[in-house]
Amino acid sequence: MKFPLERINALQMKLNNHKLIAGGLIENIQDLQIFMEHHVFAVWDFMSLIKFLQNHFCPSTHCWVPRHRSKKENRCSRLINEIILAEETDYDVNGKDIVSHFELYCDAMEEIGANVNQINNWISTLSQGKLSAASYSNFYVNKSTFKNSGFMPVASAKFVKGTFSHIETGKPNIVAAVFAFGRENVIPDMFMGLLSQLNLSEIDCPKFHYYLSRHIEIDADEHGPASLELVEYVCNQQPELITEAENAAVCAIESRLEFWDNLAFIIEEKKLNLKAS
């Protein structure tokens, strides 16, 4: 049974043509600041998706024991570790230092004067264990908690809530589909569209240009195809698993579209307020 792509492809096309990405809406540093201050939370929750998959394919314990995997399982384990290698320990823009893509994104935010307080506070809260397992789960389930927490912008919180609703299923076919179709295979076109509309040169924001270019390069050539292979493996041609994965992929792209709608509204509202003032 081939993976059904009709709904997914239609939504991905809609995403690529969204006015936030293809409509010239992000025109200056101020617009980019708004985008990045919201989008950084999607950069963060991306790592939770990939870490779930790594724990599934390559579980770790204090005492290592060999796993008798099939050739296909070994292939999937290597693919996921290669993706983690780049995401957590890639080369910085100088070609020498090692940095995670999340850290690179935060550096790019600071480079253009975007506010990093919310994302830093959120990471600090998680790092200090101020959210218990129960409250952490409730944080994502309770919509009012999202709205009143102050941890992240509402638009970002809604998107993150969707991501964790998939992770909390504990089903690798669902998480792999969200990762592949909702992230890896939409990112290259999405970022190429963003680069094409920016009236900001590489001299203006070299780290942001590097971040986008790096993702376009590795996601299109390496991570995208690898993520599709992971989906194929975990679904194992089982109709029920394929249907679950397809529905999750559609849900993930729709969540991204809603996220883009919200960001477009925020940026457009700012432009109108500036014209009125």
234: pLDDT confidence band, cut at 50, 70 and 90?
Answer: very high
Structure confidence by residue, pLDDT tens digits, 165-185: 999 999 999 999 999 999 888
DSSP-based three-state secondary structure for 98:
strand
Whether residue 126 is predicted with pLDDT greater than 60 in this model: the reply is yes
Distance CA 184, CA 45 (A): 13
| 85 alpha-carbon distance from chain centroid | 16
Q: Which has more pLDDT, 131 or 120?
A: 120
Q: How many residues does the chain have?
A: 277
Residue 136: the pLDDT is: 45
Residue 149: the pLDDT is: 52
This prediction's pTM: 0.89
CATH class for the domain made up of 6-57+70-272: mainly alpha
Residue 75: the pLDDT is: 87
DSSP category for residue 94: T
Whether residue 131 is predicted with pLDDT greater than 70 in this model: the reply is no
Residue 237 phi, psi (nearest 5)? 60, 20
1: pLDDT confidence band, cut at 50, 70 and 90?
Answer: low
Distance CA 276, CA 259 (A): 26
Residue 181: the pLDDT is: 93
